[in-house]
Amino acid sequence: MTNNKPLKDVIVLDLTRVLAGPYCTMILADLGAEVIKVERPGVGDDSRAFGPFINGKSAYFISLNRGKKSIVLNLKDEKDREIFKQLVKKVDVLTENFRPGTMEKLGFGYEELKKINPRLIYAATSGFGHTGPKSKKAAYDMIVQAAGGIMSITGHPGGPPTRVGASIGDIIAGLFTAIGVCAALYQREKTGKGQKIDVAMLDSQVAILENAIARYIVTGEPPKPLGARHPSITPFEAFKAADDWVIIAIGNDALWAKFCKAVGREDLIDHPEFATNAKRTENYDKLKPIMDEIISKKTAAEWIEELDKAGIPVGPINTIDKLFEDPQIKARNMLVDVNDPEIGKMKVAGNPIKMSSFEDEKDRQPAPNLGEHTEEILKRFLG
């Protein structure tokens, strides 16, 4: 298929491994970049050894590295170091997610590499960033979820510290790095110069705290976990229907009036304790049992159908298996096939960035075997 994607002709030299960095380069690949994944001889990306496995191959690795190319280089070997330098001359972007200082110890920090290629965009993703007193500390997803404050507002009141169910410490940092790369590519078109991008997982967690920071600034009280409830919009949470849980999100007073009419409780519309969102939030403890009684009278499916018709935001809590049958997810091409020559077809998450300039393909190229493209890349770039 012809590549008419926005990052066509952008070449990424990808030194990243596990999740944050590979998630970034997966996005760049989905947008048309050619990603050359540099891996350690004999071992490769650590995630090649992470389960679950299909016929001995890591499904985890495949899901993050589909469509990339793999070459093997030992950056401590003189011959391979020279090859690496020659590749740096030819690429647009270099990504790495080592602990800060690692690339400098190898002699390949940004200050050295920009001498080789002044147009190089050097994107570094790390736990705590390349500056500050904690810069050199090791970090994993749960470390930054905890340090970044999000675990302190996740879970149910009085419960133990709770990690967000997906690795958002890594994933959000990968997203911000991809945004930085795209912005740097655009700026390079104007200046002709590359630059260094420094994205910290910790910074990225702080960046997504949204109203938790605002609430602390206004009240002086650290926000606490509220379960499946919005902190400042009411009612806006998970409710137990007759058979299952359902999400009902009443985001303004007009929706509140619609909801009250839909459930036959017009008396609540102008009730002095519930007439405005501020009052409903203030009197949450009084409103909650009323809502629970109303919602318990019908099944989740019945409420979804009825409230949908009334224009009330409502929806199910899907388990992962239900995503595969959800007609909206199918229509948006959000579960696509990777066609692996050894294990056959495997479903992975699709690209959420839909663009009119190119068709969103139904499948993806396979993840590379370790070193699969070494000969091809060396011949093509270094002759």
Q: Are 255 and 313 in contact (CB under 8 A)?
A: yes
Active site residue 230: yes
Q: Give the contacts of 177 (CB within 8 A, at least 6 positions apart).
A: 20, 21, 24, 95, 123, 125, 197, 199
The alpha helices in the chain, defined as continuous H runs, are 20-30, 59-65, 78-90, 102-105, 110-116, 141-147, 168-191, 201-207, 211-219, 253-262, 277-282, 284-295, 300-309, 320-323, 327-331, 374-382
Give the pair of three-digit tokens for residue 293: 């009684």
Size of the chain, expressed as the number of residues it contains? 383
Reduced to 3 states, what is the DSSP secondary structure of residue 353?
Answer: coil
Active-site annotation holder among 130, 230, 271, 373: 230
Q: Are 139 and 128 in contact (CB under 8 A)?
A: yes
Give the pair of three-digit tokens for residue 263: 């459930």
Q: Give the residue carrying structure tokens 């469509």.
A: 67
Which amino acids are annotated catalytic? Answer: 230
